[in-house]
Each structure stands twice: as structure tokens, then as C-alpha cells.
Amino acid sequence: MARRATKQVKEPTLESKLWAAADVLRNAVEAAEYKHIVLNLFFLRFASEKFEEQRQKLIADGKERYIEMKEFYAKDNVFFVPEDARWSKIKANAKQADIAIRIDKALELLEAENPELVGALPSGYFVRLELETSKLGSLVDEIGNIVLPDDEQDIIGRVYEYYLTQFALKEGKGKGEFYTPKTIVKLIVEMIEPFSGKVYDPCCGSGGMFVQSIDFVSHHQGSSRDISIYGQEYTATTYRLAKMNLAIRGISANLGQAPRNTFSADQHKDLKADFIMANPPFNQKKWRAENELVDDPRWDGYEVPPTSNANYGWILHIASKLSQDGVAGFLLANGALSESGTEQLIRRQLIENDLVEAIAILPRNLFYTTDISVTLWILNRNKKARFYRTPGGEMRRLRDRTGQVLFLDLRQKGVPFEKKYVELSDEERAEITGTYHAWQSPNWETEYEDVPEYCYSATKEEIASKDYTLVPSRYIEFASQDEAVDYDERMRELQGELAEVLKQEEETRAQVLKVFEELGYGIEL
């Protein structure tokens, strides 16, 4: 008799185990709460494990008398974890009726013992959730049973990044604003190269820009000590995510004293940053009251940004924070490239002041919160020829790009990701950043040249001749006229036309109903 083949059982991946843990919460709480529950529990486990490792190391080194002294943990960037906050105690009591109280107490104790965690951990959150004890206990068990590989230097960061990505994907459009997809953050970081100095994000979300900046520096033989991080975030829960995200990686940052509105309560008023990276809310309406901030120094020399849309409020806020040689990379909806009225006047002045260095229109479906393509803006306070040294010791020479703007059309880039999204591959990012740096530097690996349907270097005079529009397709050469159409702008036009048709239809229906009523007929249309 033929022997039946043994079926190979595929070992679940770390990622699948992580998501299975979170999935315990299905139907128990709102999906938007998943991230706060899971990430806080995972943080408790992480802090406890690092504490225990340091504790055993002190014992092995004959320093047992120091095992309850915070200083001997803080010196190695390890959080001191009081006994009632340790994961072993949480896990042992996972099935107790007071487990929510115990978790809240653990988070409170952990924050009290570690100043860098102030504002990072929630207060009374798990009790307020009113989650069933069995569900919460099962989640504690799931998280506690996941075996993390010890062959990766930043396994904790990898887990945290995975969860942030997955939660943003699951929350979908209109939500997930706490997270900018990693592929986009990497593109910004690789283009503006924040090697050293002050790095600022005025709407920092969960802190992804900062994490990638530190990674970039370390991958180029630099030191994180050469970077000072400043940020601000408006939403309280997202503010905590950012503080936890940075703390879990040992990154020091000044995120202000509390979550605050960047426009009305700027917590870094005197800051002049060397690098600014941001993904502000797109087309934010009613961002200030009609008579509020009209004399704000951030708009000095420009028109006051209109209350109807915050896009140019963000641009001028960012421009006002740049140091003498400062560079900014940030994202905006495509409409900001060609808006008329006050926005056009501000855009004209930005160009005349020679602040705009590059405009890159990105592919559609890069974001989890919107399917439109958006634009990466790069502002530069100093586009003149100069030298600077990279962390690896290389002297790089920058050519004089005064009065010029680089336009990039990246709408055909991107590879499929998670079925309905796309992301920029490593090769695509290398090509894009290579083009930008070749345009900047005469001693780059390749010489810059305009490429039809991809890039074009325009002069300030050319831009002025086109009424200061910054739509890349107005400058880049295309093989056929159709390909030069800004499809997002055309879609907005069509949506406007459709809205007008529907409005007319509604008015016609109202008139017909009125006639029937006057004739004494009761009818519904």
C-alpha cells in the first residue's frame, strides 16, 4: 500500500501571530480602539522584559545591591518597572476580575517612575473600556505567548511598526490619520537627508518621520546624538502613540508639554529647524476663526491664509520655522498646486522668494486615508552653491539652483501593496532620490537631465509665465497632450459639474411638487 504523503504544516509568521493576538478583540470594542489596547499591553511586556534583562545583568556582574535603583537602568536606556507593573504579575492575574484595574495601575506606576514616559501612557483607560474580563485576559495571554526572535536588533520597533501599519489599514479611509505609510516617509527622509541638526514635524502623528530620520542617520554611519527632535500633535491619543513609539526605540524628543493645536498653541514658537518633515491634514476647513491669527508673525510678508482651507497655513507655518539653510519636505493635496485667489498670491510670493525647490506629484492609492494622488513639496531656504559633509565624511557640493524648481511626475510609479494600495519600491525610491540629488549636486553619481514624462527643471520666469501654477504636467514634456492632463484636477471639475446637475434636478423636483400641491394633488417624487 502506498504511503500517504505527510502534509507540511506551515509555521505561522510572527506577523500572523501578532495579528491573531489583536483579533481577540473582534466585536468586543470599536476597531479604532484596537491599537490603544494592544500597543499599551505590548509596551508593558516590552518594558518588563528589558527591565528583567538588565536586572539579571546587574546580578551577573555582582551588583545585586543595585537592582532596585533606577539609575542603573536609566544609564542603559532601560525603563525601571515597579513590581506591580511587571508583565509576570499582569500575566499571572490575567483571568482575575480586576485585571483592567491592575493594567491601569501598572501603566500609572511605569509612567511615575520614568519621566520620559510622562504623557505617553493613558490613565484609567482599561477600566473605562468595560471590556469583558475573559476577552482582556485572553488578549494578555496571546501577547504573552508570542515568541519574539532575538536575532534582530530592533524587533520591538518592528512589532510596533507592524501594528501601526495594520491598524491604519484596517481603519481605512477617513481614519488612520495617526500614521503616514512608511514608503512615503522613507522617500521624504531620503530626499532631504536629515543628517544632523534640529528636526521638526508640526503634526507628527505617531512619530514615523522621527523614527525614519534616526534610521537614516544610523544607516549612513552617523550618530543619533547629532539630531534634536521637535514635534507637536493635536490629538491626545495620537500624541501618546508618538511618545510610546519613540520611547520604545530610545529616541529622545520634545513633543511639547501636551497635545495642542499647532496654529493656535504653537509649543515651539522660537524654533528654527534645519529639517522639517510633515504630513498635515489635507484641505482642513475652518482651521481658524475669521478674526483669529490675522496678525500672526508666521504670515509676515504674505497674505493671511484663508479660513476655508489650511493648506497654505501649513506651508507658511513650515516656512517660518526653517533655519537659514533649512530644508522641508511635506505633503499636500494636489489642489494646493493651482488654487486661485489668496492661495495664488501666497504661492507667487513663495516662488518669488525662491523658497520652492521641488514639486513631486505622487501615485494614487499610496495613502490609507484617501485614494487621490497628492504632492510632495520641498522648500529650501538656501538654494545657492555650497558644500556640506555627510555623516560618512563625504564632502558634497551643491550647485546653484537659485530661481529654479525641479518638477517630478511619479504617477506611474508604485507596486501593489495589500491589494488596494500601492507603495514605492526600494528601486523606485532610489531612482527618484537619485534624480533629485543629481539635480542638486554636480558631483553626484549621474548628471541630471530633463526626462520626458518624468522630470523637468523650470526657471522662475517659466513659472511666472504660467500664472505661478506648480502642476508638474504644465512643465514636463509628454508624448501626447492627453497624458499632460492633471486627472485629479479634471475629476474635481467633473464632480463640480455633477453637483451642479444634481442641484438643478433638486430645484426642478421642488418646483414640480409645488405645482401639484397648488392643484390639490398629494404626490411624492
Give residue 12's pLDDT.
Answer: 65
Q: pTM of whole model > 0.75? A: yes
Give residue 499's pLDDT.
Answer: 66
List the domains of the chain with CATH numbers.
14-168 (1.20.1260.30), 174-482 (3.40.50.150), 486-525 (no CATH)
pLDDT (tens digit, 9 = 90+) per residue, 122-153? 999 999 999 999 999 999 999 998 887 765 55
- What does the mean pLDDT of the chain come to? 88
Q: How far does Cα 461 stand from its chain's mean position? A: 34
- Measured distance CA(338)–CA(202) in Å, rounded: 24
- Measured distance CA(106)–CA(386) in Å, rounded: 53
The helix/strand/coil state of 360 is strand
Helices (H), 114-231: 125-129, 133-145, 155-171, 182-192, 208-219
Give residue 111's pLDDT.
Answer: 94
Give residue 341's pLDDT.
Answer: 94
Residue 328 burial by CB count (10 A; 0-12/13-18/19+): exposed, middle or buried?
buried
- Measured distance CA(99)–CA(165) in Å, rounded: 28
pLDDT at 1 over 80: no
- Measured distance CA(409)–CA(473) in Å, rounded: 7
Give residue 176's pLDDT.
Answer: 59
pLDDT at 496 over 70: no
pLDDT (tens digit, 9 = 90+) per residue, 475-489? 999 875 554 455 556
Instruction: Sort strands 197-201 and 273-278 into parallel, antiparallel or unpaired.
Output: parallel
* Helix (H) or strand (E) segment spanning residue 328: strand 322-333
Q: Where are the beta strands (DSSP E) in 221-294?
A: 227-231, 273-278
Give residue 410's pLDDT.
Answer: 96
pLDDT (tens digit, 9 = 90+) per residue, 277-307? 999 999 999 999 999 999 999 999 999 999 9
Q: At what angle do helices 311-320 and 342-352 cross, to 10 degrees?
A: 30
Q: What cell numbers appear for 509 in the block?
A: 423636483
- Measured distance CA(34)–CA(42) in Å, rounded: 12
- Measured distance CA(352)–CA(339) in Å, rounded: 17
User: Taking a C-beta distance cutoff of 8 angstroms, is the pair 178, 205 a contact?
Assistant: yes
Torsional class of 301: left (φ above 0), alpha (ψ -120 to 50), beta (otherwise): left
* Helix (H) or strand (E) segment spanning residue 327: strand 322-333
Please tell me which residue, 190 or 28, carries the higher pLDDT value: 190
pLDDT (tens digit, 9 = 90+) per residue, 402-452? 999 999 999 999 999 888 889 999 999 999 999 999 999 988 888 999 999
pLDDT at 60 over 70: yes
- Measured distance CA(85)–CA(104) in Å, rounded: 9
pLDDT (tens digit, 9 = 90+) per residue, 211-265? 999 988 888 877 888 899 999 999 998 999 999 999 888 889 999 999 999 999 9
Q: What cell numbers appear for 275 in the block?
A: 529639517
User: Taking a C-beta distance cutoff of 8 angstroms, is the pair 311, 288 a contact?
Assistant: no
pLDDT (tens digit, 9 = 90+) per residue, 160-200? 888 888 888 887 665 557 788 899 999 999 999 998 899 99
